[in-house]
Amino acid sequence: MTAPRQVLPNTTYLITRRCFGRMFLLRPSALENAVFEYALAVKAREYGILLHAYCVLSNHWHCVLTDPHGRLPEFQRDLGSTIARALNAAHGRWESFWAPGSYSAVALQAADDVLDKLAYVLANPVVAGLVRRGAEWPGLWSAPSRIGAAASTVRRPDHYFRKGGPTPPAAELELTCPHGFDSVEELRARLTEELGRREEQAALDLAKQGRSFAGARKVCAQSAFASPTPDEPRRGLKPRLASRDKWKRIEAIGRLKRFLTEYREAWSAFTRGARGTVFPEGTYWMRVTCCVACFSSA
Is residue 82 included in any domain, yes or no?
A: yes
Is residue 46 included in any domain, yes or no?
A: yes
265 and 120 inside one domain:
no
Eight-state DSSP code of residue 136 = G
CA-based radius of gyration for the chain = 20
224 and 260 inside one domain:
no
On whether the CB atoms of residues 114 and 180 are closer than 8 A, the answer is yes
Distances (CA, A) of 143 to 55, 70, 133, 136, 224: 10, 27, 11, 11, 25
pLDDT score for 236: 65
287 and 216 inside one domain:
no
Is residue 2 included in any domain, yes or no?
A: no
Residues 18 and 97: their CA atoms lie apart, in Å, by 9
225 and 253 inside one domain:
no
pLDDT score for 232: 56
Is residue 1 included in any domain, yes or no?
A: no
98 and 190 inside one domain:
yes
204 and 59 inside one domain:
yes
212 and 286 inside one domain:
no
Indicate which CATH number applies to the domain containing 51: 3.30.70.1290
238 and 261 inside one domain:
no
On whether the CB atoms of residues 38 and 154 are closer than 8 A, the answer is yes
Name 196's bridge partners. none
206 and 67 inside one domain:
yes
b/e sequence 55-87, b meaning 16+ C-beta within 10 Å: bbbbbbbbbbbbbeebbbbbbbebbbebbbebb
Is residue 137 included in any domain, yes or no?
A: yes
Cα within 13 Å of Cα(4), Cβ side: 24
pLDDT score for 102: 80
106 and 220 inside one domain:
yes
Quote the pTM value: 0.93
pLDDT score for 182: 95
How many domains are there within the chain?
A: 2
pLDDT score for 212: 95
128 and 210 inside one domain:
yes
Query: Mind listing the pLDDT tens digit of every residue in the chain (298 residues)?
Result: 567 889 999 999 999 999 999 999 999 999 999 999 999 999 999 999 999 999 999 999 999 999 999 999 999 999 999 999 999 999 999 999 999 988 999 999 999 999 999 999 999 999 999 999 999 999 999 999 999 999 999 999 999 999 888 999 999 999 999 999 999 999 999 999 999 999 999 999 999 999 999 999 999 999 999 998 765 556 567 788 899 889 899 999 999 999 999 999 999 999 999 999 999 999 999 999 999 999 987 6
Domain membership of residue 253 as a residue range: 249-294
36 and 78 inside one domain:
yes
pLDDT score for 229: 74
Is residue 88 included in any domain, yes or no?
A: yes
Is residue 3 included in any domain, yes or no?
A: no
Is residue 281 included in any domain, yes or no?
A: yes
pLDDT score for 101: 82
